[in-house]
Amino acid sequence: MKKTVKSVLLMLVMAVMLFALTGCGGNKLVATRDVSEDDTFGNYKETIEVKFKDDKADKITMTMEFEDKEKAEAIASVYKLAGDELEGVETEQKGKKFIMTMSAEAFANEEGFDESLSKDDLKKALEEEGYEVK
C-alpha cells in the first residue's frame, strides 16, 4: 500500500514539474530574429513574446537589444514623442534594451496583423516575417 501511494505521489510531482517547465500548457509564443544593417539603428536582436488567453493573443512584449545604449535611448525617445498616440502601449529602456509591452489590439495595429489571429496563424505570420518561433 505504501509503495502504491509513493508511486502515485511521484507521478503527481513529475506531472506538476512537467507543466511548470513547459509553460503550463504552452500559452506563450516566443519569436526572435537578428536585424543587421538597419539604416537607422544598426544591428540588434528582436524578441517578441506573446501570451495567450482563451486561444487568442492577450499581451505582447517586444524587446529590442542593441549593440550600444545610445541606440536604445534613441528609439525610446522616438516612442516617447509619440506618447498618447500609442494607446495600449507601455515602453521602457533598460541599458541596451528597449522593451515595449502592449495589448493584442495595439500589436495588431503596430505590426499590421489581424488581432484575432490564432496561435498557429500568428506563428505562421511571424515566421513569414523572418522570426524564429518557439
State the CATH number of the domain containing residue 117: 3.30.1830.10
Within a domain: 69 = yes
pLDDT of residue 81: 83
Within a domain: 15 = no
Within a domain: 19 = no
Within a domain: 56 = yes
Within a domain: 2 = no
In sequence order, the 6+-apart residues with CB closer than 8 A to the CB of 52 are 27, 28, 29, 58, 119
**Inter-CA distances, 37 with 41, 47, 132, Å:** 8, 17, 19
Distance of alpha carbon 54 from alpha carbon 60, whole angstroms? 15
pLDDT of residue 51: 92
**β-bridge partners, 33:** 46
Task: Give the residue numbers spanning the domain of 86.
Answer: 25-133
Within a domain: 92 = yes
What is the pTM assigned to this prediction? 0.74
pLDDT of residue 85: 66
User: Which parts of the chain have pLDDT scores under 50?
Assistant: 5-10, 12-13, 17-23, 25
pLDDT of residue 110: 72
Report which residue type is found at 108: A
